Amino acid sequence: MLEELLKRRIIPVIVIEDAGDAEPLAEALLKGGIDIIEVTFRTAAAEEAIGRIAKAFPDMMLGAGTVLTSEQADRALGAGARFGFAPGLNPKVVKHFQDAGGLFMPGVMTPSEIEQGLELGCKVLKFFPAAQAGGPAMIKALAGPYASQGLKFSPTGGITLDNMMDYLSLPVVSAIGGSWLATKKQIADKDWATIADQAKAAFSRAAAG
């Protein structure tokens, strides 16, 4: 699972209000070449959306985001999520998710949080909110003492098509996350063509290096 995750460079961070949009949304991302999705537990539809994607696209790398409690972790995994993200680091939730067999990437912003994440066995940490917390320069500085631990960052927050390569060009960054790939409005408007185009543009840019 970790190896599979490390192969992906772009992770769409999704807020979905209507679970019925889950399949066409996943299909649009796949059409654009992105076969990974993080469905955030910020809406009541998250659990059902994960279940629908798991059923319709069993080969898609499916995860949950904004997993803040052990109860959400159970619901995410029960619905078919194989990995989880959170904006912060809650050791209880990290352990709960790991004990249930999932791969968890807590959010960090400071050296102390990174060390906590390493102690919990996390090899990939979300750096959040990336742009606001210092962007690529901050990640580069943090990589100094920790890159030798085999640690990778998955920054999210303020990343767009225009600045994604500033992050992806850093060896310590395995993937970037972003909501721009499928915005709430685009999902509500069922604008699948635009979402597919955005996914394709990001995928091509990452592939070009």
Ligand X SMILES: O=C[C@H](O)COP(=O)(O)O
Phi, psi of 120 (to 5 degrees): -85, 0
Per CB under 6 A, does 154 bind ligand CC(=O)C(=O)O?
Answer: no
Site for ligand CC(=O)C(=O)O in 27-56 (CB under 6 A): 38, 40
Phi, psi of 129, rounded to the nearest 5 degrees: -85, 120
In the stretch 114-143, what mask flags binding to ligand CC(=O)C(=O)O with x, by CB under 6 A? ------------x-x---------------
C-alpha 16/C-alpha 36 separation (Å) is 15
Q: Is 63 in the site for ligand CC(=O)C(=O)O (CB under 6 A)?
A: no
CA-closest candidate to residue 122, choices 144, 79, 164, 90? 90
**Pick from ligand CC(=O)C(=O)O, ligand X, none: which does 32 bind, CB < 5 to 8 A by kind?**
none
Residue among 22 and 179 whose Cβ is closer to ligand X: 179
Q: Do 37 and 30 contact (CB within 8 A), yes or no? A: no
Contact map string, positions 142 to 181, toward ligand X, x by CB under 6 A:
--------------xxxx------------------xxx-
> Residue 85 binds what, of ligand CC(=O)C(=O)O, ligand X, none (CB under 5 to 8 Å, by partner type)?
ligand CC(=O)C(=O)O
Positions annotated as catalytic residues are 38, 126
Question: 22 or 86: whose CB is closer to ligand CC(=O)C(=O)O?
Answer: 86
* CA–CA distance, 131 with 164 (Å, rounded to integer): 11
What distance in Å separates the CA atoms of residue 78 and residue 199, rounded to the nearest whole number?
A: 28
Is residue 91 within 8 A of residue 115, CB to CB? The reply is: no
Do 175 and 2 form a contact (C-beta atoms < 8 A)?
Answer: no
Tell me which of 5, 10, 13, 187 binds ligand CC(=O)C(=O)O, using CB under 6 A. Answer: 13
Which of ligand CC(=O)C(=O)O, ligand X, none has residue 51 at its interface (CB below 5 to 8 Å by kind)? none
- 24, 195 contact by CB (below 8 A): no
Q: Residue 177 and residue 59: Cα distance in Å, rounded?
A: 20
Q: Is residue 66 near ligand CC(=O)C(=O)O by the rule CB under 6 A?
A: yes
Under 8 Å between Cβ of 39 and 63: yes
By the criterion CB under 6 A, which residues form the site for ligand X?
13, 156-159, 178-180
